[in-house]
Amino acid sequence: MIIIIYEREVPEKLVALQRLARRLPSDHPHFDHVKLALYNAQSGLGGEQYIDSTLFDMYFPIPHTIFPNYRLYEKYIPSTQIDILIITPAYALVIEVKNWGGTITFQNTGQAIQEKNGVVRSMDCPIVQAEYYRENLQDWFQLHDIILPVHRVVIFPFASTLLRGAENRGVHFSKELPIIIRKLNKLPLQMDTKDFDLLSLKLHGANNTFANEKVCHKYGILPSMLTKGFFCTHCDIQLLKKNSRHYICPSCSAVPANPVLEIMLDWFTLFSNQVTNKNIRTLSGLVDSHRIQYFMKKSGFPSSGRNKGTVYHVNETEKEKYLGDI
């Protein structure tokens, strides 16, 4: 039995929003928006992790591969971001997870209305979104001469959400997911195990988890608009100067061995995959460029150029190493 479950990583967007939220002054015009985006990203991840655990406990009588947070980027196919993609030799299933609370009313106009705590908000309809991704994946299969039916479902993790107008439209709660999958598992097989393995590998190769727009570019936030200084990774509060070389967290008493490393990670997630000494001065408020240079070198990130022109880079493997857990 072939079972491949790729691990869900903390999305870069969530890491970036968390780092942005602690540096953005509360009087900045985007402050509330960033806080809300952070809350939504955290609750979205919580919902997806809950569904992951439901799937992990399920029995599949046929080979299957589960891709959490699947991003299909390929020429001729519109950008497709699937919360959970399951593939088997009999079918593919696109799962759109929506961890929205309150009352959700599905309109027929590509819009969903959320009413929660007396606030009414209009959101993009997840049914339309899931159907769009389903069609894109079906097109991708066609492009690669793969015959496999693609199904889609919108899942709300918790039954505490009240759904209206969702009947018979492929919208379900997580408790129904095992029943849906059990039915799909009875569909006729479209390929043998060897072809299924090849398809899994092909999809894995086309999965592009990065290619994100940097969050500060999206909101038009400049480095100079952010609070300068060093922050504790655990407590999200500003560190105090302990002595000429070290900083200490007033809450957990942590003293980072390399305080500049965190600033570099802030820069990599908020602005660019490249950082200079000057960038670090702007974000840290530290003026001693020699000390910054010493710590930047110590970070171990690859660099190019010399002296004042030295640029440090991050690649996706390092990003995962440093930012995978928050």
Residues that bind Zn ion (CB under 5 A): 232, 234-235, 249, 251-252, 254
Map residue 277 onto helix, strand or coil: helix
CA distances from 160 to 102, 170, 233 (A): 8, 18, 33
| DSSP bridge partners of 202 | none
Q: Name the minimum Å distance from CB 46 to Zn ion.
A: 23
CB 119 within 8 A of CB 125: no
**Minimum distance, C-beta of residue 253 to Zn ion, in the bound complex (Å):** 7
The nearest distance, CB 234 to Zn ion, in angstroms, is 4
Nearer CB in complex with Zn ion: 159/254: 254
Cα–Cα distance, 234 to 220 (Å, whole number): 27
Instruction: Report phi then psi at 323, rounded to 5.
Output: -115, 0
Beta bridge partners of 64: 3
For Zn ion, which is the closer residue by CB, 189 or 252? 252
Instruction: Give the single-character DSSP code of 238.
Output: B
- 142 vs 251, which CB is nearer to Zn ion? 251
Sole residue written with tokens 């007396």: 118
Question: Considering beta carbons, is residue 3 or 252 the nearer one to Zn ion?
Answer: 252
Between 164 and 234, CB nearer to Zn ion:
234
Token pair listed for 17: 């929003």
What is the closest distance, in whole angstroms, from the C-beta atom of residue 233 to Zn ion in the complex?
7
Q: Helix, strand, or coil here: 119?
A: strand
Q: Is the dihedral of CA 135, 175, 116, 216 positive or negative?
A: negative
Work out how close the CB of 254 gets to Zn ion at its nearest, in angstroms, rounded to a whole number: 5
Minimum Å distance from CB 263 to Zn ion?
16
Pick 48 or 262: Cβ nearer Zn ion: 262
